[in-house]
Amino acid sequence: LRLFAGSSNPRLAADISRQLGVELGKIKLSRFKNGEIYVHYEESIRNCDVFLLQSFSHPINEMFVELLVMIDAAKRASARTINIIVPYYGYARQERKAAPREPISAKMVADVLTTAGASRVITIDLHAPAIQGFFNIPVDHLTAMDLITNYLRSKQLEQPVIVSPDAGRAKIAEKLAGRLGAGFAMMVKQRPAHNEAVITHVVGDVEGRTPIIIEDIIDTGTTIVQVVESLKKLGAKDTIVCATHGVFSGEALSRLDHGHIKELVVTDSIALREPPMKGMTILSAAP
C-alpha cells in the first residue's frame, strides 16, 4: 500500500499516514511556465495498491486536473490499483439538469476520473449520495456525521434543535436529532441565482432553543447567514453551525463572523487557506 498527497490537502494526507502507520510516498508535483502540471512518483509503485489523496479545492479545477495527471502517471507506472481519496468531491451540486441545456457535471467528472484509470473512489458526504451510481467502479461513501454527533454530544447543549437548511438535508438532520434527543426543524429555501439563497418558510419549533444547523457544504456562507437570521427572528438562541466541507469562497469567513453564530464546526476535508477564526472548530476527518 502506498499513500500519496496531491497539493490540495497535504496535512490531511499526513494525518492519515500517521493513523495508518504508512509513510507518505514521495512524489514531485510541479508546473511548467504555462501552467501545465507535471507529476513524478519518486519511488517504484509497480504492483502496488496506490492511494492518492486530493480534495477538489482550491482552486478546484487545478486540483482536479492535478489528480488526473497523478492517476495517469500511476497507471503508466504499473500500479496494481489506483484508489482515489477525494474528501471533498466538487461539481457535486451539478448532479442533474435543473433546466434545459445544462450539463450534469458530477457525472462528467466521474467519467473522466474513471477513464483516466481510477479503480476505486473514497469520499465523504457527497452533496447527493446518488452520485455513487455515476461510477462503474467501487465507491466508499463515508460520512462525517459520527464525528459531528460525537462532538455535539460532548457539549451537552440545552434544548438543542437540529435545523436542516433545506429539504435535501432533512433526512440526515432528522436522524441526527434522533441520535441527540434534540428537536428538528427545516427551512424551505429558494435559489433565485447561483450563490444566492432565500428562506421562505421554517417548519418546526425553534423559539428559545439552541439551533444546530447541519450542512454538507458551506461555500459563500450565504445560505447559513440567511438561515441564522430567520432563526433569530423566530426567537431562537444563537446558532451552532456544522458542515462537513468548508469551501469558504470569497468573503465567506467574514460573512460567517456573525453575531448570532456562536460556533462554526467543519471537518478538514478541505484545507483552510487562512488561520481559523474565533469560534471555529475543525474536526479531523483522518480517522
175: alpha, beta or left? (left if phi > 0; alpha if psi -120 to 50): alpha
φ and ψ at 275, to 5 degrees? Answer: -60, 145
Cβ atoms of residues 222 and 197 within 8 Å: yes
Residue 57 beta carbon to ligand R5P: minimum distance, rounded to whole angstroms: 13
Beta bridge partners of 241: 213, 264
Using CB under 6 A, pick the residue from 195, 203, 233, 276 that binds ligand R5P: 195
Rounded to a whole number of angstroms, the minimum distance from the CB of residue 245 to ligand R5P is: 9
Give buried/exposed letters for 152-177 (b at 16+ CB in 10 A, else e): beeeebeebbbbbbbeebbebbeebb
Per CB under 6 A, 90 contacts ligand R5P: no
189 is catalytic: yes
Q: Provide the CA 266 distance to its chain's centre, in angstroms.
A: 9
Closest to ligand R5P by CB, 107 or 155: 107
We find the least distance from the C-beta atom of residue 219 to ligand R5P, in angstroms, to be: 3
Three cell numbers written together for 259: 453575531
Residue numbers belonging to the annotated binding site for Mg(2+) = 127, 166
User: Which residue among 94, 220, 239, 267 contacts ligand R5P (CB under 6 A)?
Assistant: 220
Part of the chain binding ligand R5P (CB under 6 A), chosen from 17-25, 155-163, 171-179, 213-221: 213-221
Q: Which of 281, 246, 48 has its CA nearest to residue 150?
A: 281
Toward ligand R5P, which CB reaches closer, 61 or 195?
A: 195
Q: Is 239 in the site for ligand R5P (CB under 6 A)?
A: no
Count residues binding ligand R5P (CB under 6 A): 15
- Rounded to 5 degrees, φ, ψ at 74 are -65, -40
- By CB under 6 A, residue 270 contacts ligand R5P: no
Question: Applying CB under 6 A, which residues contact ligand R5P?
Answer: 93, 165-166, 168, 195, 197, 215-223
| Residues with active-site annotation | 189
